[in-house]
């Protein structure tokens, strides 16, 4: 977690005359000081900033005392907005593109604009910065030599399961964006489709409540059900399966935990233990009846 500390370092930032073109500028994912000096200088220097939400970017720029014209741009923006950006660049203007947080284009708008710049031979450059996917991956402790960034997990159950089933064959680390509200359903889906893998839920990266929850799907599910989480989440999934043996005793223990400790209904407990263990419904259900009788 980053902490504010009072200190004075004198740095001169100057507005400069920039060549016409598109400047992709990374912004912080939470902690405002995670912005590069070059990013600040670029914002001071460009003719216009194209951003997802002018209020969000306005707050960031206001924090650094930067005043610059802002226009709204997202991937739903029609051809007219892109044409406006191109005609500005043709007139010799420099245009910065940023998103609400992190790197533009990474699960954020900008790709269509950059593609068209490339096709038209327009100068494009990147001013790098924080990215939630890479920050989560760094903290996960999972292998970083090779990984898949899979973007947002789909909302719909079928699409989510199809994605995990496609990725379950990959023996490399996988990085997903997910919301705190859906994280339990998401981890249950991973456990049932990919097996009880080692996963890491990272949340609120660079912010006061930054947290890293690590373990097998079943460990993490227990923790998430005990203490639900809030905020923004990056989920990292190991490429390696964890072979945990689920014998009768482990099934009964997990059901007791769900039904007695967490107060889940037998139906929900069966669903969760099936997802964690990979056991069939009939067998888990039979044990759940025994647990219920003893309660
Ligand atoms: N372009 C951004 C980047 O470079 O990371 C990602 C933008 S995407 C629209 C937003 C998602 O990124 C969130 O739903 C969350 O999954 C993840 N995210 C962004 N900031 C985060 C943070 N501080 N902590 C954890 N996850 C974060």
What are the residue boundaries of the structural domains of the chain, listed by start?
A: 21-130, 133-240, 244-294
Beta bridge partners of residue 67, listed in sequence order? none
User: Tell me: the pLDDT tens digits for 123-132?
Assistant: 999 999 999 9
Test site for ligand 1: of 29, 76, 186, most ligand atoms within 8 A of the Cβ: 29
User: Among residues 222, 193, 155, 157, which one has the least CA distance to residue 174?
Assistant: 193
The protein residue whose alpha carbon is closest to atom 19 in ligand 1 is: 132
Residue 96's region, left for phi above 0, alpha for psi from -120 to 50, else beta, is beta
User: Among residues 176, 161, 173, 172, which one has the least CA distance to residue 106?
Assistant: 176
User: Tell me: the pLDDT tens digits for 278-287?
Assistant: 788 888 999 9
What pLDDT score does 169 carry? Answer: 87
What pLDDT score does 281 carry? Answer: 85
- Residues 73, 97: contact at Cβ < 8 Å? yes
Residue 69 in tokens: 């014209």
If one looks up domain 133-240 in CATH, what number appears? 3.30.950.10
Domain 21-130 CATH assignment equals 3.40.640.10: no
Contacts of 174 (CB under 8 A, 6+ apart): 147, 148, 150, 167, 236, 237, 239
1 has pLDDT over 80:
no
d(CA 237, CA 80): 40
For residues 63-86, average pLDDT: 90
117 alpha-carbon distance from chain centroid? 27
133-240 and 21-130 share a CATH fold: no
Alpha-carbon torsion, ordered 231, 232, 236, 241, to 10 deg? 40
d(CA 229, CA 72): 32
Ligand 1 center to 181 CA (angstroms): 15
Ligand 1 center to 233 CA (angstroms): 7
What pLDDT score does 151 carry? Answer: 97
Residue 224 in tokens: 């998430």
- Residues 254, 217: contact at Cβ < 8 Å? no
């Amino acid at each position: 977690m980053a902490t504010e500390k009072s200190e004075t370092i004198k740095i001169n930032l100057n507005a400069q005359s920039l060549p016409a073109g598109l400047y992709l500028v990374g912004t912080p994912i939470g902690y405002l000081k995670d912005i590069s000096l070059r990013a600040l200088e670029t914002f001071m220097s460009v003719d216009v900033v194209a951003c997802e939400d002018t209020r969000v970017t306005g707050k960031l720029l206001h924090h650094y005392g930067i005043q610059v014209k802002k226009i709204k741009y997202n991937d739903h923006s029609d051809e007219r907005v892109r044409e406006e950006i191109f005609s500005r660049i043709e007139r010799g203007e420099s245009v910065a593109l940023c998103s609400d947080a992190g790197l533009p284009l990474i699960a954020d708008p900008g790709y269509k604009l950059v593609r068209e710049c490339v096709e038209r031979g327009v100068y494009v450059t990147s001013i790098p910065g924080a990215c939630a996917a890479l920050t989560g991956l760094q903290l996960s402790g999972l292998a970083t030599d090779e990984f898949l960034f899979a973007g947002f997990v789909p909302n719909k159950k079928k699409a989510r399961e199809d994605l995990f089933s496609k990725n379950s064959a990959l023996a490399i680390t996988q990085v997903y964006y997910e919301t705190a509200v859906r994280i339990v359903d998401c981890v249950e889906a991973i456990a049932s489709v990919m097996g009880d893998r080692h996963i890491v839920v990272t949340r609120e990266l660079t912010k006061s409540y930054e947290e890293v929850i690590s373990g097998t799907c079943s460990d993490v599910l227990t923790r998430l059900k005990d203490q639900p989480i809030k905020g923004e989440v990056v989920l990292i999934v190991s490429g390696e399966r964890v072979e945990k043996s689920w014998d009768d005793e482990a099934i009964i223990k997990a059901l007791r935990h769900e039904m007695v400790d967490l107060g889940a209904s037998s139906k929900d407990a069966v669903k969760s233990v099936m997802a964690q263990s990979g056991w069939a419904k009939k067998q888990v259900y039979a044990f759940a009846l025994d647990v219920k009788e003893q309660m």
